[in-house]
Copies of this chain bind each other. A is one copy, B any other.
Amino acid sequence: MFPQGLPSLATFTDLYELTMAQAYWQEGMTGEATFSFFFRSLPPHRGYLIAAGIEQILEEIEHFHFTEDDLIALRRLHRFREDFLDFLAGIRFSGSVRAVAEGTIVFPQEPLLEVTAPILEAQLIETLVVNRLHVYTLLASKAARVRWAAGPQRLVVDFGARRCHGWEAADMAAYCGWLVGFEGTSNVHAGLRYGIPLYGTMAHSFVSAFPRELDAFRAYARTFPDSTVLLVDTYDTVEGIKHALHVASELQKQGYQLRGIRLDSGDLLSLSQVARQLADAAGFPHLQIFASGGIDEYTIEHLVHHGAPIDAYGVGTKVGVSQDAPCGDCAYKLVNYAGRATLKLSEHKQTLPGPKQVYRFYDTTGRMLYDQIGLADEPAPAGGQPLLHEVMRQGRRLRPAVSLEEARSHCRQQWASLPESHKDLHDPATYDVQVSVRLYQLTKQLTEQLQAELHLCNPEHSPSPRSGKD
């Protein structure tokens, strides 16, 4: 039932990638280019980013090609030369990719991924690369905050499917949640696709569909006697809790155990306390209390801080769209072309030139100390662990796809090595990211050279209106 007859993902590109491709092709510019993907800055209140989407984009790059239908549709635009479109038909990605491992902790200016390929190919995949790494990384970074706030002893489950920006985004949110250590997702599509454990309770509509709440609870318990979580806030939460405990007693007589109740509105702190008290008093100390409804890392932090006896959190909307940072400042920049390091000088957007490597330094207990960004071809500094590894060469992955389980395990290790001060939800410490002397010198030299050339090659050799006004 997926939409049929759609253009291929190769056409998921900004038009200028195709027009520039024709210009490169027409100009005979077949030189090798390196593009670097990185975040320029951290979203507000963030101390780190969790790199994600690497595995997805590698899969897509490896299969990149225009279909016949794509080319027919592109032809109808009457923008491209026939011989260029014929050329496009044969285009595959033939370059190499260096990337950090899925789930690695990264910081601003550090490349998550570098693509080296004939410039036309490296450029055609730009929109796809940026789209994937941007949203996966934002969603994983948001989810990591939630995971941390909940602490290791409480369950966290992704409930975002209905508010994420499409089914694809919902699958990304479920994937990212699992990557950073959530216990599962409510999204069946994502669960089946990735093998993520599925969680679910019941909806208000189920309760409303019965004449009385108790009837609804009994019906659900009859159907799933050993895995029932009852939603208690449809009418009056405290009454709902009592109805649930009544059903718990009935189940107990049949040899079953009510798994839990879910609170989805109201003051979750006091309601969870009431629920715990009533459940304990009724002899159900193992009854779990689930909470949901507009929950994010801040809500959880507050509830945990005040000792709310909540065992599991369902996090939906705010986490699934990374509400406080639904977009980030990232870039896929040309850093090298045909052996020449390049950069741009645009205001607030200056880039670091050349293919790069990131080295991470740890203390003797394995905790992260600082990172150093250097040029890919300079000698590794003593004690630094390189983060970028070649994962694709001549358009083919050098190893099988990393499983989500492996990535999850890597992410857990990364997380353990990040000092707590960087995990604070409000005012995290700034992690120290240094630039190597050689990279610093290259940047300085290129900047000066470009500024000098700019004025020399200005065809009118006139001062700019701005300087004229001084």
Contacts and interface: CB of A to CB of B under 8 A. Distances in A.
Interface string A183-226: 00011110111000011111111111101111000011011100
Interface residues of A, number: 138
A204 B15 contact: no
A246 interface: yes
Nearest to A29: B209
A326 B322 contact: yes
A317 B14 CA distance: 13
A411 interface: no
A188 B1 contact: no
A347 B345 CA distance: 53
Given A29-B209, A192-B70, A453-B212, A235 B465 contact: no
Contacts of A213: 454, 457
A232 to B, nearest CB: 10
Interface of A: 1-3, 6-20, 22-24, 26-27, 29, 31, 33, 35, 59-60, 63-65, 67, 70, 73-74, 77, 79, 119, 123, 126-128, 130-131, 134-135, 139, 159, 161-170, 172, 186-189, 191-193, 198-209, 211-214, 219-220, 222-224, 227, 233-239, 242-243, 246, 264-266, 274, 277-278, 317-318, 320-323, 326-327, 333-334, 337, 340, 342-349, 450-451, 453-455, 457-460, 462, 464-466
B6 A1 contact: no
Given A192-B70, A465-B274, A12 B202 contact: no
B16 A203 contact: yes
A15 B167 contact: no
A1 B63 contact: yes
A16 B204 CA distance: 11
A163 B23 contact: no
3 A-B pairs closest in CB distance: A15-B200, A16-B200, A205-B334
A135 B166 contact: yes
